[in-house]
Copies of this chain bind each other. A is one copy, B any other.
């Protein structure tokens, strides 16, 4: 019976604290208690479930899906965006917006940003970033050479440059094809002092923004001319490759797939990426599910930004495979 009297008082203290907004010391004075006691009563109020705090996700957000992604794939953060229709264009726009906001909110001073600048999603991100006047970032480093058609290559350079301008950083470009014709050709291309300089920054990147590619080349990539021939792609698939990040391939289990082609890519390696403090992956769309799942299994992505359709399928599929 005295327990009830005790709880009544605890409830009253909780009411004064949480609803009336009074300070603990104030409440302590009111009841002639010590502040320490009030603090303990409030703790007790939570334990007794007299005080309950709920966090309501705003509609259009998917906190539960995010939680599952974090937990299934051991991510530092996951952002799942609302998207009315499961269409690639819409999805990329929404992911881009969310990524832009996240970047703006969390970008530190003097960061060195790495960006693999030929994904449409990343383009959407850049389009949504507000200019940050007081030069926040130090460098924006292009982590993969341009693809095929020189016009598109320039596009990629421009995207990097634009991101640099928006973040008040200096752009460090890779004005070279992403894939050389041969290892020897790569050596030649790498001889360029600007290329060397940019590459030298890879280990210093503090924040990398990457897209995830499926074996099906994306629109942008396709338009940019063929990167790898279908024969080469077949070779990669043969070796188990299901997706790539900056043209570095991996298999469904999250293992790195090395083929001779690897020697011809001019860009950041997965090993280098693994050393980056924050790796943000932007990817969505039903055609990429498998690639994304595999990419997450690499264990080098810290933050995934995706759409609710993809998120849902990723979470379910991963959970099932773990049980199976």
Interface residues of A, Cβ cutoff 8 Å to B: 1-2, 4-9, 11-12, 14-15, 18-19, 30-33, 45, 48-58, 60-61, 63, 66, 76-77, 79, 81-82, 97-98, 100-102, 105-108, 128
Residues of B within 8 A of A106 (CB): 31-33
Those 3 A-B pairs whose CB atoms lie nearest each other, nearest first: A5-B101, A7-B58, A32-B106
Known A-B contacts A55-B50, A56-B50; A61 and B2 likewise in contact (beta carbons under 8 Å): no
Query: Which residue in chain B gives the minimum CB-CB distance to A206?
Result: B32
Residues in B with CB closer than 8 Å to A102 are 5, 9
Task: Provide the residues of chain B in CB contact with A55, threshold 8 Å.
Answer: 11, 14-15, 18-19, 45, 50-51
Contacts of A14 in B (CB 8 A): 55
Bound-state CA distance A303–B280 (Å) is 59
- Do A12 and B63 have beta carbons less than 8 Å apart? yes
Number of copies: 2
The distance from the CB of A109 to the nearest CB of chain B, in whole angstroms, is: 10
Cα A61 to Cα B3 in complex, Å, equals 11
8 contacts between A and B (CB under 8 A): A2-B100, A6-B101, A7-B61, A11-B57, A11-B58, A18-B53, A18-B55, A50-B55
**Cα-based distance from A5 to B30 in the complex (angstroms):** 42
**Complex formed: what's the CA distance from A15 to B62 in Å?**
12
Residues from chain B with a CB closer than 8 A to the CB of A45 are 55
Contacts of A76 in B (CB 8 A): 30
Please name the residue on chain B nearest to A130 by beta carbon: B2
- Nearest to A11 among chain B residues (CB) is B57
- Cα-based distance from A97 to B5 in the complex (angstroms): 8
New A-B pairs, 5, CB < 8 Å, besides A6-B105, A14-B55, A50-B57: A4-B58, A5-B102, A8-B61, A8-B98, A32-B107
CB neighbours of A77 from chain B (8 A): 12, 30-31
> Is the pair B51, A53 in contact by a Cβ cutoff of 8 Å?
yes
Q: State the Cβ distance, A7 to closest chain B Cβ, in Å.
A: 4
Q: Which residues of B contact A56 (CB under 8 A)?
A: 11, 49-52
A5, B98: Cβ atoms closer than 8 Å: yes
Instruction: Return the chain B residue nearest A107 by Cβ.
Output: B32
A15 and B11 alpha carbons, distance in the complex (Å) = 24
- B82 adjacent to A11 (CB under 8 Å): no
Contact A2 B32 (CB under 8 A): no
B51 touches A54 (CB 8 A): yes
Residues in chain B near residue A54, CB distance under 8 A = 51-52, 54
Cα A12 to Cα B303 with chains together (Å): 14
Cα distance A101–B5 in the bound complex, in angstroms: 7
- CB nearest to A101 among chain B residues: B5
Q: Do residues B11 and A63 form an inter-chain contact, with CB atoms below 8 A?
A: yes
Q: In the complex, what's the smallest C-beta–C-beta distance from A275 to chain B, in angstroms?
A: 18
Contact A63 B4 (CB under 8 A): no
Contacts of A30 in B (CB 8 A): 76-77
